[in-house]
Structure 1
Amino acid sequence: MLSYIQYQPSSLLARYIECYWIFKVPLMAASVVERLIPGGRVELMINLGHSMHFLANDKLEQGDLIDQVHVMGQRNRIYYAKSSGEMYMLGARFKPGGIHAFTRLPASELLNQVISAEDVLGGTLKGWKNRLREKKTDAEQIALLDLLMQQLVQYTTTEWNDCTKIIDIIRQDNVLSVNELCDENESYYKKLERSFLKYVGYTPKHYYRIVRFNKALRQMQFNQKSLTAISHDCDYYDQSHFIKDFRQFTGTTPRQFQSETHHIADFLISQQPV
């Protein structure tokens, strides 16, 4: 049976880390190709099971291997995951912009990438996998992971604080346009764009698209509304614009998506905020 459980970070890290998680998949379900829908976050992934392939499309047999401790960057298109065997993975999901508290690498360099965590967070990660594997319970593993993450925290800047305020506004239900946000915060777009690329890894307008799509996807999954109504509620110009985003971010149509089983996507849609 598949198991996905989220855990809250310590108060020291709650500003930067959205949650920790443990994902386990038995051997019988391991060969299923799962959709990885963009959610605007960076993930730290620690693989304690068989290797997982990060695939650019669902027809590939192999892709970037996630077999040690990796950082999976935020994405602006659909990707896929396929395990080579029984899956047992721990992770830390950073809040949008939160990765900056642990690295000086611009978030834009992480876009659509799977990178060795040591290249992003530093060489102090050597031995993390073995130390976590030695713990007997999930709770002990999460407690150790939180302690290890505390040791990596760096300072943040006023610019970062200002950027996270804009992120929070965009994630609210009644969001202004990006240009209106600039006017309200007495900023100009190019300055905000530089800040977003540095901390979030998207331009403000592309991040807005990611958030808007995820709001629409949650409405589609949990509310009995037509696509036209959802498009209107989520500020799409029309239904065709929504379907265009849907294809880019899921790789399929709304009807096909609803007819399929998506273990990872369903877990995140139900448990992860927009």
Structure 2
Amino acid sequence: MENKPQMDYQTFQPHPDLSAFVKFYWTLEVPFDPNNQKQKIIPDGCIEMTFNFKDKIKRYTSQKDYIIHPNAMIMGQRTKSYFIEPMGDVDSFAICFYPYGFSNFVSTPLENLVDVETPIESLFGEIPAKELEQKIIQASNTKERIEIIEAFLLDKLNQNRTIENLVKTTVDSLQAANGSNSINKILKDDLSKRRQLERNFKKQIGISPKQLGKVLRLQTALKMILNDKESLTNIAYESEYFDQAHFIKDFKEFIGTTPKEFLGNENMALSTLFYK
């Protein structure tokens, strides 16, 4: 059996001054192989800024149609899984923001970024974006790239408003409960707060609290499937789904396969790497 090219995925921690906003930085290198399969990317509740140094990457909009990723872009919140396919070698550097992290650096409502790839010049202006992209490309290693992006983000942080407190406490509660906390419980059934939350949440996170909760709960289940090899009944129970049928329905809705079909699926190799 021939050896498949290795995907090299690494993560790096942010500076303490940015650790409330940035979850981690990551790099990914994958040598081109004509036998490589399309890869399905699964929503994770985060927003990412990515820089691509090698060949273009396609994102499929249907079975055959695709768009080409910008080389420097923001990937907004996702409400569904999607397929990508590199057109050659992959060499990427990215910043993974917490759900409420990215809103602190831009004034654009984040609901405008949902399910699309937005070139960074659309959010930061053409000249600053081009300067940043050139510095990132010309840097000689990941450590330098992290220093460049952190200087850029810290400068932006000082210019922008901070996240609305109700949004932050709701996200914190959802993350602490792995997405299973009901919004009514978080808000103690205060209807006026709920309306305020829904409005601000979409602007500052991109999606609704309920959608984010679904994504976070699915993430918990995915990690258990990949790492613990527990039974689906146990995973459904521990992820606080109503029952196994509810778990499988949510899983299929987001990922397009059943949990059993997910394991060992070549289209899921990249997502498996991210979740492990």
What residue number does 2:94 align with?
Answer: 91
What residue number does 2:274 align with?
Answer: 268
Answer yes or no: is the 8 Å Cα contact 1:17–1:95 preserved in 2.
yes
Give the gaps of 5 or more residues in structure 2. 1-5
TM-score, normalised by the number of residues in structure 2:
0.89
The CA deviation at 1:224 is: 2.9
The CA deviation at 1:9 is: 1.7
Answer yes or no: is the 8 Å Cα contact 1:30–1:83 preserved in 2.
no
The CA deviation at 1:47 is: 0.9
Q: Does the alignment pair 1:249 with 2:254? A: yes
What residue number does 1:135 align with?
Answer: 139
| Mean CA deviation greater in 18-27 or 130-139 | 130-139
Q: Distance in 1 between matches of 2:229 and 2:130?
A: 49
Match of 1:168 among 139, 150, 172: 172
Q: Does the alignment pair 1:193 with 2:206? A: no
Q: Does the alignment pair 1:65 with 2:71? A: no
Q: Does the alignment pair 1:238 with 2:246? A: no
| Mean CA deviation greater in 106-115 or 225-234 | 225-234
What is the DSSP-based 3-state SS (H/G/I as helix, E as strand, rest coil) of the residue aligned with 1:103?
coil
Matches within 5 A, 1:116-131: 116-123=119-126, 124-131=128-135
Which letter does structure 2 place at the counterpart of 1:215?
T
What is the DSSP-based 3-state SS (H/G/I as helix, E as strand, rest coil) of the residue aligned with 2:51?
strand
Answer yes or no: is the 8 Å Cα contact 1:30–1:85 preserved in 2.
no
The C-alpha deviation readout for 1:205-246, integer Å capped at 9, x for no partner, is 111111111111112222232212221222212212111111
Change (3 A) 1:242 1:29: farther
TM-score, normalised by the number of residues in structure 1:
0.90
What residue number does 1:259 align with?
Answer: 264
Q: Does the alignment pair 1:11 with 2:11? A: no
The CA deviation at 1:114 is: 0.7
Q: Does the alignment pair 1:27 with 2:32? A: yes
Q: Does the alignment pair 1:223 with 2:228? A: yes
Matches within 5 A, 1:36-47: 36-47=41-52
Q: Distance in 1 between matches of 2:169 and 2:31?
A: 41
The CA deviation at 1:42 is: 0.9
Change (3 A) 1:30 1:54: farther
Give the gaps of 5 or more residues in structure 1. none
Change (3 A) 1:252 1:166: same
Aligned residues: 267
Q: Distance in 1 between matches of 2:45 and 2:234?
A: 24
The C-alpha deviation readout for 1:36-78, integer Å capped at 9, x for no partner, is 1000111101111100112234x33x52212421111110111
Answer yes or no: is the 8 Å Cα contact 1:50–1:84 preserved in 2.
yes
Change (3 A) 1:238 1:50: same
Q: Distance in 2 between matches of 1:67 and 1:85?
A: 15
Change (3 A) 1:259 1:2: closer
Change (3 A) 1:178 1:30: farther
Q: Does the alignment pair 1:102 with 2:105? A: yes
What is the DSSP-based 3-state SS (H/G/I as helix, E as strand, rest coil) of the residue aligned with 1:188?
helix
- Aligned-pair identity in percent equals 25
What residue number does 1:152 align with?
Answer: 156
What is the DSSP-based 3-state SS (H/G/I as helix, E as strand, rest coil) of the residue aligned with 1:126?
helix
| Mean CA deviation greater in 127-136 or 193-202 | 127-136
